[in-house]
Amino acid sequence: MTNKINYWVCLKKPTVFIWFLALMVCCFTTKAYANPTPEITTQDRTISGTVVSTDDNFGIPGVNVLVKGTSKGAVTDFDGNYSITVSSNDAVLVFSYIGYVTKEVIVGDQNTINVTLESDVAALDEVVVVGYGTAKKETLTGAVEQVKAEAFEDLAVGSPALALQGRTPGLVVTRASSRPGNEDINFLIRGASSVNGISPLVVIDGVPALNASAFNEMNPNDIESISVLKGGSASVYGSRAAGGVILVTTKKGKGEVKVDISTIMRMGTIGIRPPTPTMTEYGDIYLAAADSDLAAGKSPRYFFWNDYETLERIAAGEEGYYDLPINGRVWLAEGNRFDDLFGNSYSAQHNISVSGSTEKSNFRLSAGYDDNVGGLKVADDSSERYNFSLNYNLDISERLSLTTNVSYFHRHISGPTGGLAREAAAYDAPLFPAYNDLGQYYSVFGGVNIAGARNAVAQVIDGGRQNFIDEQLKIYAQAQYKLTDNLDITGSYSVTRQNSEDQEYTLAVPLYSWQGDFATYITDPSNTYIEEETGNVTYKNFKATLNYNNNFGDHNLSGLLAVEAEKNTNNALRARRTGFVDYGVYDLNLGATDQSIETEGGGNTWGAFGYIGRINYDYKEKYLLELQGRRDGSSRFAEGQKWSNYFSVSGGWVISAENFLNDSDILSFLKLRGGYGELGSTSGFGNFGYLSTVGFGTTVFGQTNAGQQQTSRASSLFSDTTTWERIVNKEIGIDFKLFNNAVFGSLDLFEKQNRDMLVSLVYPDLLGTGAPLTNSGTLVNKGWEFQIGWQGNFKDLNISIAANMSDSRNEITEYSGAEAIVAGLNSVDSDRNILGKPINSYYLYNTDGYFANQAEVDEYYASYSGGILPAQGTAAGLVPGDTRIVDSNGDGVIDTNDLTYHGDSSPHHVFGFNFDLKYKNWDLSAFFQGVLNQNLVRTGYWAAPFQQVWQNQSATWLGRTWTEDNPNAEFPRLSTQANVANWNYINKDFMKQNNRYVRLKSLIVGYNINDLKISNTNIDLVRIYFSGNDLFEFTKVKDGYDPESQAGANNATYPFMRTWALGLKVSL
């Protein structure tokens, strides 16, 4: 009846295929692709050699080799080889390359000089990828952070998005779930930009991704670096970059032909688990609630448990038959649904790549397989992904080069129908085993339908399946022609095609009594269904750029002119059939009747066009200036509003380059920078949002016996003057290095304003339809970012430490939309935006402890009335131990007007801390991530005890609630009455938690073996390592839920998993 899970995923067919492919590549790869030895012309005396990197011992192309004190120089080829002539033994060769420490060597009587360059990782990496090119970090005037490949390659998770958590200040990465394929990973750069939600633009190898999912589905082993563009530095990408930009650069081929093979085997274990009670604990909680009601002179709601004596049997852990009034004779025994459903998981990831270069070309071909299995142990719940990519570059001539990039991923998500939330554990009290003694699914509550609680295990295993297939193919081609040594023109075109298929169905699963008699179904047979949906998206992007780069003595000047065109088209089709009959074949044709068919479809398209200009100037790399301008057009707006202009300006001063700091022993580098920039955004405004559709219907006019008349109405009003949101960024920052680059860091202050935020105006209900979006709001967001690091080298021991922290605070300063405050979270999703407060604000009732005695209760009723105050003497009437709500506005009425602001739900003071240690062939890396301040108010099934008497209860409340013997308890009294739970617990100030935590996000311990020879095969590197993710945490969250999910609701979260992995890498 249960599905058997194959834990030996290493023997799955994709694994065998990857290793077979690796073997074939190793057998047939030759040196034919290697670079031939260049001819050397000898004049005076010729010195030759090879320049390699300490990182991988491979040759470094493009290294400048200069005879010191002269203009005579050379450049290493693709293999790192060089030759240069010298005239004396006293000559000194200077080897320099961006990103490496410069090295000087005296020639002496040597004819061959081989040099090893060390990476200059202390400080800010010298070369970073920015919009439409690269730049030296030290001459940047904007806020740009870069994360290198090392942060992704050995992690025990298959998503590069999760690897970014805490790595760079200002970037917040959240996940709502640990369920494979449904993690719901979101990015936010420098806080909120609009009530309409603006996500960062993800650009992969120069092409905007369809969505963040395309980044999440990348193979981490294909990534060379990730740059995060913040504030004005993102302006060059225009309207889609209002939330910042994440630039992803993939690996390219270099040097001789190289084969890299890697595999990682993972085991997942349940991390923080919800406080599900045992049978005895459940009885104790219920007895405590009944005792509280009896002490207050109220009758407990025993519901299906019949009486107090039944609860005592349950609290004693007594297994056996119980005669219950609502459902007859029922067997009760220990039955923890969470333990029934969830357990360890086993998965794997395998990768292979082949790369290399010649004098005129380079290539890299890669394939990857990732099998991510969730914590559900009774049925398959997994995400399977295949990745393929090809990067190829060819220099056709000295002036013309071609670049092609092809990438493809295929993802298959398979799991039980529906959300598979932990609500399954909340529904079923821990008194019902999953199976009876005959091995049949046991019916919870004897077959009585209690809000769908009919055996969650049966629902998960046999109640239906969902299969989602998503695949994406991207083809990119680029041609670059050098008009002169200082001027080149580049044209590129890309097409991205995404196809998806989604099928889900529900089945009627029979349940049985303990004796084996049929009791009921999980789902009524007439309510079963099968649903299929297909969709496709086609995205096309064209760019043409003209680049200029020159220097005039100490003056350096570069410029960019570009045009970019985008078009996105999508289509979808859905069909659903109810009354689905299970024949073991899942097809839409198997519905019960033809009348049970539902179909719908749709499509949409949008286009954008932009003109781009940028000028960079610096004097001696000391005084820096950058100017950017864009003119953007969008199909979303009406004629006359489609186009808008934006600009940015930034500057910098490298103070350490001034003469008065040249001899400083402390300060190695100091740069002051600042900028101002504007960006447009179309977020929140739909395609063709300036048009209104007409809806049709029927109604009766006149007498009630009159016939129905056909009617039509506008579905909503529109405004043809609505235009772009305009976001203004202001920033100032410093970058510094101290003690010969051993200490490095930066500090940034920023402010961004959305001055034309799109909101819906408030009109009387008499309007009869939806109000249009207009540019009637303003949002101001201010914040700071700080990072600092240290690196030390002690012979064979290298140590580096880095830390970062950031925070931002927003406020809605102008708002013409609806402002109906509700208790709890006033979220953007529910259009609850409050003037003068942040997005996603909490409004709660202030409280003043609990009533100690009846006299205090009587005094309270004498002082206040109306609103939400329950009538005295009723079942819900207040008694000692209940919460005392404060009349915050002093009007003598306890109602929603007493709700007060209690902060927002955004994380504040987000931080990361990294420690790296290398000793000879050993290395250790530990990365911590966390949040210092975040407000969290739980909602959902377990946010308060006994919101429903039939449901399971959280063990959180045991021993922590008010009684006469415990008057200073953390929580108010328990009660079996749901309305008492609402008054005492829901949306009260003491239920707000500080979601403060620090988590060991990753721990890696590795050992490298270099230059092995097995038979006739030379192995450059063998790496064996242990990798763990989310191994432990310190948290102030009290209710047993993952603080990282940062979700207020606690009833729809997949159990949080810890990951332990062993990895192997081989380079040939």
Cα 771 from Cα 726, distance rounded (Å):
21
Q: What are phi and psi of 409, to 5 degrees?
A: -135, 150
Q: Alpha carbon of 840 to those of 283, 326, 832: distances in Å?
A: 38, 43, 8
Q: Which residues pair with 47 in a beta bridge?
A: 84
Residues of the chain with CATH 2.170.130.10: 127-252
b/e for 318-343, b at 16 or more Cβ within 10 A? Answer: eeeebebeebeebbbeebbbbbbbbb
Cα 194 from Cα 664, distance rounded (Å):
45
Cα 706 from Cα 687, distance rounded (Å):
40
For 396-528, where are the E strands, in sequence order? 400-416, 464-482, 487-506, 510-512, 518-521
Cα 240 from Cα 208, distance rounded (Å):
9
**The tokens 């805490």 sit on which residue?**
166
The residues, ordered by sequence, that sit 6+ positions from 1063 with a Cβ below 8 Å of its Cβ are 154, 262, 263, 264, 265, 1023, 1024, 1025, 1026, 1027
According to the CATH classification, is domain 34-117 in 3.30.450.20? Answer: no
In the three-class reduction of DSSP (H, G, I as helix; E, B as strand; rest coil), residue 849 is classed as strand
What DSSP string describes 714-741? ESB---TT---EEEEEEEEEEEEEETTT
- In this structure, which amino acid lies at residue 116? T
Q: Alpha carbon of 582 to those of 466, 506, 590: distances in Å?
A: 15, 9, 8
| 8 Å CB contact between 743 and 789 | yes
Residues of the chain with CATH 2.60.40.4130: 34-117
Q: List the CATH code of the domain at 127-252.
A: 2.170.130.10
What DSSP string describes 661-681? GTT-SSEEEEEEEEEEEEEEE
Cα 438 from Cα 47, distance rounded (Å):
86
The residues, ordered by sequence, that sit 6+ positions from 1002 with a Cβ below 8 Å of its Cβ are 155, 156, 163, 925, 926, 927, 1027, 1028, 1029
| 8 Å CB contact between 911 and 964 | no
Cα 524 from Cα 510, distance rounded (Å):
10
At 954 the pLDDT is: 83
List the 115-117 sheet strands across, edge first: 81-86, 45-53, 115-117
Residues of the chain where predicted confidence (pLDDT) is lower than 70: 1-43, 55-56, 71, 98-99, 120-126, 326-327, 418-427, 446-453, 591-595, 695-708, 713-716, 762-770, 817-820, 827-831, 949-950, 1046-1053
Cα 372 from Cα 818, distance rounded (Å):
43
Cα 582 from Cα 507, distance rounded (Å):
7
At 25 the pLDDT is: 42
Q: How many residues does the chain have?
A: 1068
Which value, in Å, is the radius of gyration of the alpha carbons in the chain?
33
